[in-house]
């Protein structure tokens, strides 16, 4: 009889230790997952949204995926977004990732996944930023929406050795921007200049990060991007159709991004076509189209489940070899058929 599978639990502090100690490998795992997705060695069906009619700000999303190549694991991330949490200093997002053995289908592990999710998002943003920005980059970073994804993205930009002349911060809640500014000082000895208006943050900024929780677009003035910046549009719903149409648009996966009332989805609904999307991040890495530095270049990643599998699988293997995984050998008490 095949041995009963062992089920592991990986708590958040272990996830953090593994990621902090292995940033280069995690960054490479994210890039490798994008490339596997591009080559057809993944399964990444549409995400499934649990929405609450009486609480439209909240949602829980299921992201099932399979990653082939050397990883050969399947799984699902189940991630909640409750933006009102932040008023009681509770993170907006919470998540678990279940990884499955791709040959037996058995669940292998449950990992705390809010950091895995933030990490794969931030690492992919840093990867995109370095490939769609002018080289060398010398300029100002603007952070619009100064929460956890912004913080994680700045950590990954710093890991990739970005240098900024200035960092401007804008948040509808200035106390959030003040927390972020203090964190920048404590962590990196950098100064964050808090702005009163969105246009003050974007003007002259060459890299603009959108990490808000807005449900609908508000940035309608093309002049805010007059300097043709690199835009990391991680929150997906900030930029109005006219500005999307005036920019070069790069996605992680076009079918995923043009869904769920993202700015790109609204643009498709208004124009009836997808011609405004130049291509994917892997198209950029492979130089399959020419970047246009005379226009804003907007990276809008929907966030692929295969990235969670890639980072989660790395974390699981590292935690098992360091003895930090919590093994539950009898979790599957009924695995013998007879």
User: Residue 176 or residue 221: which is nearer to ligand NAD going by CB?
Assistant: 176
Nearer to ligand NAD, 41 or 58 (CB): 58
Does residue 147 bind ligand NAD (CB under 6 A)? yes
Count Cβ atoms within 10 A of the Cβ of residue 23 and give its class: 0-12 exposed, 13-18 middle, 19 or more buried. middle
CA nearest to 28, candidates 66, 71, 79, 74? 71
Nearer to ligand NAD, 57 or 271 (CB): 57
What is the x/- site pattern for ligand NAD, positions 206-225, by CB under 6 A? -----xxxx---x-------
Site for ligand NAD in 277-336 (CB under 6 A): 301-303
Question: Nearest 5 degrees, angle CA 250-CA 20-CA 101?
Answer: 75
Please tell me the distance from the alpha carbon of residue 146 to that of residue 184, in angstroms, as a whole number: 11
Candidate ranges 6-14, 148-156, 277-285, 328-336; the one touching ligand NAD (CB under 6 A)? 148-156
Task: Give the single-character DSSP code of 133.
Answer: S
Half-sphere exposure of 46 (CA within 13 A, CB side): 9
109 with 328: CB under 8 angstroms?
no
> Please, which residue, 100 or 235, has the CB nearer to ligand NAD?
235
Task: Please list the residues that pair with 302 across neighbouring strands.
Answer: none
Least distance to ligand NAD, CB of residue 177, Å = 8
Q: Which of 77, 92, 168, 256 binds ligand NAD (CB under 6 A)?
A: 92
Q: How many CB atoms lie within 10 A of CB 232?
A: 31
- Which residue's Cβ has the minimum distance to ligand NAD? 147
Among 107, 139, 145, 312, binds ligand NAD (CB under 6 A): 145
Residue 86 CB-density burial (10 A; 0-12 exposed, 13-18 middle, 19+ buried): middle
Task: Draw the binding track, 161-200, toward ligand NAD (x: CB under 6 A; -: no contact).
Answer: ---------xxxx--x------------------------
* Beta carbons of 239 and 217 less than 8 angstroms apart: yes
**Applying CB under 6 A, does 80 fall inside the site for ligand NAD?**
no
Backbone phi, psi, residue 332, to 5°? -95, 80
Residue of the chain from 47, 100, 121, 247 that contacts ligand NAD (CB under 6 A):
121
Q: Residues interacting with ligand NAD, by CB under 6 A?
A: 81, 83, 86, 92-93, 117, 121, 144-150, 170-173, 176, 211-214, 218, 234-236, 301-303
């Amino acid at each position: 009889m095949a041995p009963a599978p062992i089920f592991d639990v990986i708590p958040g502090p272990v996830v953090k230790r593994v990621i902090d100690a292995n940033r280069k490998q995690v960054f490479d795992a994210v890039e490798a997952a994008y490339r596997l997705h591009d080559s057809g060695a993944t399964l990444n069906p549409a995400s499934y949204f649990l929405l609450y009619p009486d609480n439209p700000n909240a949602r829980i999303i299921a992201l099932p995926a399979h990653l082939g190549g050397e990883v050969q694991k399947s799984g699902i991330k189940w991630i909640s977004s409750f933006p009102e949490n932040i008023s009681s200093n509770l993170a907006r997002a919470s998540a678990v990732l279940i990884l499955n053995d791709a040959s037996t289908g058995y669940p292998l592990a449950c990992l705390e996944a809010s950091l895995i999710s933030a990490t794969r998002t931030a690492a992919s943003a840093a990867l995109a930023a370095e490939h769609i920005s002018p080289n060398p980059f010398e300029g100002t970073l603007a952070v619009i929406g100064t929460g956890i994804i912004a913080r994680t993205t700045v950590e990954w930009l710093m890991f990739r050795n970005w240098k900024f002349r200035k960092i401007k911060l804008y948040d509808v809640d200035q106390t959030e921007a003040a927390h972020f500014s203090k964190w920048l000082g404590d962590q990196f000895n950098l100064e964050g200049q808090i702005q009163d208006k969105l246009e003050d943050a974007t003007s002259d900024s060459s890299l603009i990060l959108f990490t808000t929780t807005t449900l609908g677009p508000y940035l309608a003035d093309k002049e805010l991007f007059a300097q043709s910046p690199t835009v990391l549009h991680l929150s997906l719903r900030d930029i109005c159709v006219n500005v999307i149409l005036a920019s070069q648009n790069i996605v992680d996966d076009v079918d995923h991004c043009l869904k769920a009332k993202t700015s790109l989805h609204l643009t498709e609904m208004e124009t009836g076509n997808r011609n405004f999307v130049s291509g994917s991040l892997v198209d950029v890495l492979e130089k399959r189209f020419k970047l246009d530095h005379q226009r804003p270049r907007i990276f809008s990643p929907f966030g692929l489940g295969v990235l969670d599998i890639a980072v989660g699988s790395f974390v699981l293997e590292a935690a098992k070899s360091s003895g930090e995984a919590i093994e539950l050998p009898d979790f599957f008490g009924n695995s013998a058929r007879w």
